[in-house]
Amino acid sequence: MKGRISLDGHQFANEHEYKRYLGIRELTRTGRLSRFEVKPSFPLIVNEVLVDTYTPTFKFLDPAKNEERIIQVMVSGIKNPLLELRIKLFEALYGFHIERW
């Protein structure tokens, strides 16, 4: 599979993202994860000005760790400075660490 992939009403940019979705979806079905969201959107507001929006790949609650986890699926070998800037701004504004998979 190359290019965009659609499943369950979600669009995935590549096969790597799609396979991660399948794994997390299965963990959610078995009850090991909950509150699973695909591509949630977060406004990046600085001094009451909407600067940008950050959309990580996944967000879910991990009951084993009792924490909310936010995941950005990365394609290895490809650098995206704008994405890295959005992640840093999100982490500063929301106080969450973004896991890069």
Contact, 70 vs 58, CB < 8 A?
yes
Nearest to 56 by CA among 27, 85, 83: 83
pLDDT for 78 equals 83
Q: What is the mean predicted confidence (pLDDT) over 25-47?
A: 98
Q: Read off the pTM.
A: 0.91
The neighbour count for residue 58, using CB atoms within 10 Å, is 22
pLDDT for 2 equals 62
| Percent of the chain residues past pLDDT 70, beyond the cut | 97
